[in-house]
Amino acid sequence: MTIIAVANQKGGVGKTTTSINLAAGLADLGARVLLLDLDPQGNATMGSGIDKNDLQHSSYAWLQGEQPFDKVVTTSAGRFDVMPSNLDLTAAEVAMLDMERREYRIRALLQDSAERYDYILIDCPPSLNILTVNALTAANGVLIPMQCEYFALEGLTALLDTIEGIRAQTNSSLRIDGLLRTMYDPRNGLTRDVSRQLIHYFGNQVFRTVIPRNIRLAEAPSHGLPVQLYDRSSRGAVAYQALAAEVHKRHRPQPMSETPSNQGPATQASP
């Protein structure tokens, strides 16, 4: 079982879009997937086809110990489970401040149910708060969606500092699962330049898959569907299915006889 926090302290980088469509892509590969929505905006919940305004119980009730996991989790149209969220979750941020070992709350709560899944994806809020700290403390790895632009590099530096802090204080085994280039436009010179810098400094930690700007990808959440169900032939759907295959390959146990790859830094995938 692998827990991946999808995180970036900078908003508008495709974090929630990635959480939804990666979950759907992994489920399409036959994996058992849980998407844990930790953003009080509830966008991952809505984008998975679940009405955040009509929840009997939300992730707040689970975090507070008011309801067990099975009473809150639900199944999406994309064949993955969702721990749904809404604005109630803002109260959890305050309530958790008084809890003992508050940074470990989600890790502890997941212990009884995590093994039923192959992957748990955590859609983090776009800020460093107690919910994000909980996600990073519970996770094995961090997937970082980012646009190839100047300010994104500054945000990446801040996030890497945060990850180092988590490693030092609450989760020494946390690692970077990969950097994902989103809203990619190869016609833009700055995009290509930043992409080259990422590959130079992070090598194989940069996913080969890139996510293009795509109108179908932007439309899908308003229909409550992953893009794979909204328009499977679209460039956005093809890209996220490729990302799911890449993530699955990274986490799939390798046969003992297989020789580890000695490939160099990842090259830019064609959008």
Confidence of residue 252 (pLDDT cuts 50, 70, 90): confident
- C-alpha distance across the termini of the chain, in Å: 30
Residue 163 and residue 33 in contact, taking contact as beta carbons nearer than 8 Å:
no
In a domain? residue 201: yes
Residue 270 within a domain: no
For the chain, the domain total comes to 1
Please report whether residue 260 resides in a domain: no
Residue 111, token pair as written in the block: 């212990």
Q: CATH number of the domain that 176 lies in?
A: 3.40.50.300
Give domain status of residue 267, yes or no: no
Q: Domain span at residue 100? A: 2-251
Residue 143 domain-assigned (yes or no): yes
Q: CA-to-CA distance for 237 and 86, rounded, in angstroms?
A: 26
pLDDT tens digits for range 57-112? 999 999 999 999 999 999 998 899 999 999 999 998 888 888 888 999 999 999 98
Structure tokens at 201: 């400094």
The values of phi and psi at residue 17, to 5°, are -55, -40
Q: For 103-158, write each residue's pLDDT tens digit.
A: 999 999 999 888 899 999 999 998 888 999 999 999 999 999 998 887 777 778 88
Is residue 258 a part of any domain in this protein? no
Residue 198 lies in a domain: yes
Let me know if residue 170 belongs to a domain. Answer: yes
